[in-house]
Amino acid sequence: MSLTRLLAACAILMFSVAASLAAPPRADIYVALGGNDANPGTAEAPLATIARARDLLRPRIAAGLNADLLVLIRGGTYRLEQPLVFGPEDSGSDHHSITYAAWPGEKVVLSGGRTISGWRRGTGPIWTVDLPAVKAGQWYFRQLFVDGHRAVRARTPNGPQWWKLQPRNNSDANDATVTLGVDHPIAAWKNIADVEAIWINNNDGTRARLGSVSAKDNTFTLPPPHGWPHSMTGEYNISFPSRDYACYFENALEMLDEPGEWYLDRQTGTLSYWPRPGEDLTRAEVVAPVLQKTLLALAGTPERPVRNLCFKGIHVAYVDRPLPAYGYPGQFGCLEIIEKSQPEPSKTFRFIEAAVSFRHARHCQFLDGGIAHAGAIGLSLLNGCADVVIEGNDIHELGGGGITLGAIRNRDTWKWADPLLRGEHRGYRIANNHIHDCGLDYFGSIGIFITLTQEAVVAHNLIHDVAYSGIVLSGNETPGTPFAKNNTVEYNDIYRVMKTAVDGAGIYVSFPQADRGALVRGNWIRDLRGNGPGSGGGIYLDGVRPELGCRGYRFEKNVVYRTANPLIFCQASTAGNTWQDNIFAVAPPPQPRLDQVAREAGLEPAYRQKLLGKP
Ligand SMILES: [Ca+2]
């Protein structure tokens, strides 16, 4: 080694030693796994929980912020049994932000899960473990993960097969027991009240609990209450079971008959699992969720929204969604309609829960983190939100859709689901997220669902393996209220979506957009399987009703190929929209164009490295 190189090597070594001895990154509060909530929260004496850091900041926020505040969190898995909620008292101000960030270079996981150990092998291939908390009625879960991969709740027929519904004397009256048949022999399963029937109703799926099974008649019953909206018609009544709907059954010990399937007996507390090849339950990490519905919530109020709050490098994982008594009456995109007859007849149009939920949040951010292993939607930005950035996240293995943002209206009453506030549902940036393996339980799940927004930008996301559409952009459902306008969906990379439900697309747009309209540009859409008529579209324009046809969209430089239907129109047409330089083809385009779209669409280079580990 030459003297110069030796000196250079020494300089690097000294620099490394100096860096490791250097003062920690500056922060106002420090949190670490080995910390203690009785500590002051300094770098030398950190707190143990983020909740304690939040509470320590409250007096400083109440006194008025005169600087940005930073909470730094050392890497590791923080287990939560209660949701982490940030309200108005935890808010930044118009001029100063509050940031909760992972320590540079470290990964922070907020886990709602519990590790399950003590497995023993039975006489056959199935392993079991007894869970006293389940037997005692204190714990029940709907998902199970082995070494970070979701296992299959025991089902019949085994995936990916489906059977077909054969209606008998079904009535959609609110209080009626419905009797249905099926086109294959069914058995008399034990623990029948825990068994669920699942069927595909066009652009979503429905889940309903069984009341009884008759092997002799090959029928089963669904007891009330039912979730499908009895008093509504047409497009809203699609979740009601009909002839030849694709169906399967889930959650009985008798259905556990292949590797990867599991069953939890609520009465005995016994969890059973048939390991997949290569899995060793004496060493595998098996996790089931304890925390339900939402793990991280920004919950402002109309009068006092949460402002200027940022999360950076935070990963949310293992959140369950219990199934309500009425099941899940899927309407589209993880929406359901809840009908009540008391105190007066009413209908509520709402999304199922999200693991990360923002309500009444303004100028907030969720960056460079992730959401995984959740039972419902990954992240939602609903009423009262505006000017939120969601960027650089890995969002995957979800029962529901990836990201949902905007407002909803009831198309029968034309009313907003929530009162519309000044300046809300606008100014979003949803970019550079990797969204995949969504809709594992709720088959109307969408990668990114943008409904009734203004000035939203959805760009450079990588979306694949989704039960329903990749991106849905929904416009003005009432001709007289031109709210949705000036939205952009550009340079997204979308493939292998439309895996389960039908009547959707890589990018699905519906209803008009006002003012400058909506720009749909440079998106790369391919490899969509068709499940039925009208399914598996590249780009789909759906007006639903003739008077609401899609207008005000500009489609530019999109590349679509290997789809069942490259371009679909329903109560819509090319008229009223602008088309330039798009490719709608069966085969891939010539190589130069393919290279260009591959370069321009999907994650930007810095995020490719960060999220995929490659340039
Ligand atoms: Ca099975």
**For residue 246, what are its two tokens?**
């694709």
213 domain-assigned:
yes
- Indicate the DSSP class of residue 225: P
- CATH code (residue 533): 2.160.20
Determine contact, residues 104/131, Cβ cutoff 8 Å.
Answer: no
Instruction: Tell me the pLDDT band of 15, cut-offs 50, 70 and 90.
Output: very low
* Ligand 1 centroid from CA 276, angstroms: 13
Listing DSSP states for 457-490 in one string gives EEES-EEEEESS-SEEEE--SSTT----EEEEEE
412 domain-assigned:
yes
Task: Give the pLDDT score at 13.
Answer: 47
Residue with tokens 């890995």: 394
* Ligand 1 centroid from CA 259, angstroms: 9
Q: Give the C-alpha separation, 92 to 70, whole Å.
A: 11
Determine contact, residues 164/183, Cβ cutoff 8 Å.
Answer: yes
Determine contact, residues 526/495, Cβ cutoff 8 Å.
Answer: yes
Looking at the structure of the chain, the number of domains it has is 2
Determine contact, residues 558/539, Cβ cutoff 8 Å.
Answer: yes
CA 603 to chain centre: 19
pLDDT tens digits, 483-492:
999 999 999 9
One-letter amino acid at 222 equals L
597 domain-assigned:
yes
Residues 345 and 202 in one domain: no
* Ligand 1 centroid from CA 186, angstroms: 13
pLDDT tens digits, 35-85:
999 999 999 999 999 999 999 999 999 999 999 999 999 999 999 989 999
Provide the phi-psi class of 439: left if phi over 0, else alpha when psi is between -120 and 50, else beta: left
Residues 251 and 314 in one domain: no
Residues 181 and 303 in one domain: no
Show the domain range for 452. 292-321+333-612
- Indicate the DSSP class of residue 535: -
Higher pLDDT, 613 or 229: 613
* Ligand 1 centroid from CA 183, angstroms: 17
454 domain-assigned:
yes
* Ligand 1 centroid from CA 254, angstroms: 8
* Ligand 1 centroid from CA 251, angstroms: 9
Q: Give the C-alpha separation, 368 to 336, whole Å.
A: 31
70 domain-assigned:
no
Residues 194 and 297 in one domain: no
Instruction: Tell me the pLDDT band of 318, cut-offs 50, 70 and 90.
Output: very high
Question: What's the first-to-final CA gap in the chain, in angstroms?
Answer: 34
Determine contact, residues 155/255, Cβ cutoff 8 Å.
Answer: yes
Residues 269 and 405 in one domain: no
* Ligand 1 centroid from CA 110, angstroms: 32
* Ligand 1 centroid from CA 253, angstroms: 9
Residues 267 and 297 in one domain: no
Residues 390 and 242 in one domain: no
Residues 447 and 546 in one domain: yes
**For residue 314, what are its two tokens?**
């935070």
Determine contact, residues 337/229, Cβ cutoff 8 Å.
Answer: yes
Residues 251 and 370 in one domain: no
326 domain-assigned:
no
For residue 455, what are the CA distances in angstroms to 305, 416, 511, 518, 540?
Answer: 20, 19, 16, 9, 21
* Ligand 1 centroid from CA 256, angstroms: 5
Residues 236 and 373 in one domain: no
81: number of Cβ within 10 Å: 8
Instruction: Tell me the pLDDT band of 18, cut-offs 50, 70 and 90.
Output: very low
Residues 350 and 467 in one domain: yes
Q: Which residues pair with 464 in a beta bridge?
A: 436, 495
pLDDT tens digits, 215-238:
999 999 999 888 877 766 666 777
72's CB contacts (< 8 A; 6+ apart) are 24, 25, 27, 29, 30, 31, 101, 102, 103
Residues 400 and 523 in one domain: yes
422 domain-assigned:
yes
Q: Give helix then strand counts, H and E, for the chain.
A: 5, 57
Determine contact, residues 470/558, Cβ cutoff 8 Å.
Answer: no
107 domain-assigned:
no
* Ligand 1 centroid from CA 29, angstroms: 50
